[in-house]
Structure 1
Amino acid sequence: MKLLSASSNRTLAQAIADHLDTPLAQGEFKRFKDNEIFVEIQENVRGEDVFVIQSTSYPANDHLMELLIGIDALRRASARRITAVIPYYGYGRQDRKVGGRTPITAKLVANMIVTAGADRVLTLELHAGQIQGFFDIPTDNLFSTPVLERDIRHKHKNVSDLMIISPDVGGVVRARALANRLGADLAIVDKRRPKAGVSEVMNIIGDVEGRHCIMIDDIVDSGGTLCNAADALLEEKAASVSAYITHGVLSNGAVKRIQASSLTELVVTDSIDPDTRKDKGGTKIRAISIAQLMGEAIKRIANEESVSSLFE
């Protein structure tokens, strides 16, 4: 097999390559003066099983076009099989119609990836499980749960003091999966807006008094929900509040907001390269690597082995 990295997260791609003891394939992703993207595969890939690693994070459109053009270049170079490895699937939050005359852009992006020539897709923690069905090719959606669990156990020796928190009702399944692995209790933040333009009112479902609360979610963007939820948990006499989020988008002043919040710590994975985010820095923000998880999944796909057994 061959690994090819586009430009969105070369650090993660190199870490995956190191884990697999496989060098990254030579390829050039550059821009012309009018910002058109040009891709050249600089080594023979004929008959090869090629994995293209690219998060479609900020700037999402540029990184998406790099992925599509890279796939097309590989297809025209006669690669035997092309797998799009997308640690962060941009546009994933547009997975359904939210009103009249609105798009389902997650499906549109899936169509584009298939049309470009991808034979299969490997992603991490899709915003909604049904996005797997948007692809008409095999799609493996990994979960960051094992990576988060390992870090939490390292940080918290006494798991009995922990309370896993879902910051909204929609994330209960994700939070419960981690709580079950840790043997910890689960609580839910129920948020609602009384009317448009009025601040969220939050109710805590579960007894968090004296517990070290860890919020679990797939994406942190502006950080507003996390910060408000942390305040609500502390009002209910939680001992501390931290958060583990898979994809650290962190835009629109999120880093400053997190830094000034009552959160003890925000832990994100390196599915998005911190250097490509709009907001950077923050002493409360820490990144953990998914390279081993992604690398193991890539190896299993290449060897035609089970991927789902990674989470058993």
Structure 2
Amino acid sequence: MIVPGSSSQQLAAALAEETGRSLATPTYDRFPDGEGLAAVPDFDGGEAVIVAATDSDEAWVELLQLQDAVREAGATDVTTVIPYMGYARQDDSFGDGEPVSARAMARAISTGTDRVRLVNPHEATVADFFDVPVEAVDAAGVLAEPLPTDLDDPLFLAPDEGAVGVAAAVRDAYGTGETDYFEKHRDRETGAVAVSPSDATAADRDVVVVDDIIATGSTMSESVAVLTDRGAARVLAACVHPVLAANAVTKLRAAGVDRIVGTDTVERGCSVVSAAPAVADALDPA
């Protein structure tokens, strides 16, 4: 059975349809003292596939409870799909006496599952923190599907060199276009930092700025503003994980973004395409 966390109900339903598995209906309650209780009263089967984005501290607790609930209900095989792993960017200690938060979370998850599937983790090395087998799932290619079919001389731009692979995956799925990434340049006299595409020109081209995650939107909106100033015809933003915290959408639109597209690893208004096919392939490889 597919068991959804409360933050991943659309993706879980799509995954159930994609794989032919039944969909459990968990309950998510809260006691007067603020404690949560996630339960799976209709779970019936030996296999459980828990699908739960950990986009908040409450979601982390809920996932641990769902893992324990399906074991209590008789599950003998548990796979935990983490569409978006919160704390993944805290993959190192920031100073003496501070935690490696990604490691702490991974160890907690490992106690209640037989294996983990991570969708486009921000840092691939977080997989090493788990105590059970982990497979990273690349869902970036699905972002090509909702893009306009008439992009003019498209340029797929990553906000930095580390995200070039994500941009290339979208370009490859789209079928045409060029890839590039932004470089940062610091003025020696003023100390001001400017960003610009490393090689490709943007003038009169449709540009898709691609990243694995848009959190606050600050970095991407800065990049988009440069493209707008350089005469890009249209600028679209695409990401696997549309966290879009606080006023991120406003920042992007004000900078000149024509459209934002994301997957349902984090369920937002721009989650117009599902990561389910990629996750299904990882659950049931051919």
Q: Distance in 2 between matches of 1:26 and 1:208?
A: 48
Give every structure 1 segment of 4 or more consecutive aligned residues whose post-TM-superposition deviation is greater than 6 Å: none
Which residue, 267, 285, 288 being the options, matches 2:273? 288
Q: 2:43 touches 2:70 (CA, 8 Å); kept in 1?
A: no
- 1:206-226 CA-to-partner distances (Å, cap 9, x unmatched) read 222222111110111111111
Aligned-partner Cα distance in 2 for 1:24–1:142: 21
Q: Which residue of 2 aligns with 1:144?
A: 139
Look up the match of 2:120: 125
1:257 paired residue number? 251
Structure 2: runs of 5+ lacking an equivalent: none
Matched residue, 2:196: 203
Q: What is the TM-score of this pair, normalised by structure 2?
A: 0.89
Q: 1:223 aligns with which of 194, 217, 227?
A: 217
Greater share of residues in helix? 1
Q: Deviations over 1:62-113 (max 9, x none)?
A: 1110100111122233311111111111111111234444322111110000
Equivalent in the alignment of 1:156: 149
Amino acid at match of 1:83: T
2:82 touches 2:119 (CA, 8 Å); kept in 1?
Answer: yes
Counterpart selection for 1:297 from 265, 277, 282: 282
Contact 1:121 1:138 in 2 (8 A): yes
CA distance in structure 2 between the aligned counterparts of 1:38 and 1:186, rounded to whole angstroms: 46
CA shift in 2, pair 1:91/1:297, >3 Å: same
What is the aligned residue count?
A: 283
CA change 1:110–1:192 in 2 (3 A) is farther
| Aligned partners of 2:151 and 2:206 also within 8 Å | no
Give the corresponding residue for 2:60.
64
Q: Is the 8 A contact 1:187 1:208 kept in 2?
A: no
SS in 2 for 1:82: strand
Cα RMSD, aligned residues only? 2.4
Cross-structure match for 1:167? 159
TM-score (normalised: structure 1): 0.82
Distance in 1 separating the partners of 2:120 and 2:54: 14
State, as a whole percentage, how many aligned pairs show the same letter. 29
Q: Aligned partner of 1:173: which letter?
A: G
For 2:156 and 2:116, the matched residues in 1 are separated by 30
- SS of structure 1 residue aligned to 2:74: coil
Corresponding residue number in structure 2 for 1:27:
26
**Cα shift at 1:36:** 1.3
Separation of aligned partners in 2, 1:249 and 1:25: 26
Q: Distance in 2 between matches of 1:292 and 1:187?
A: 27
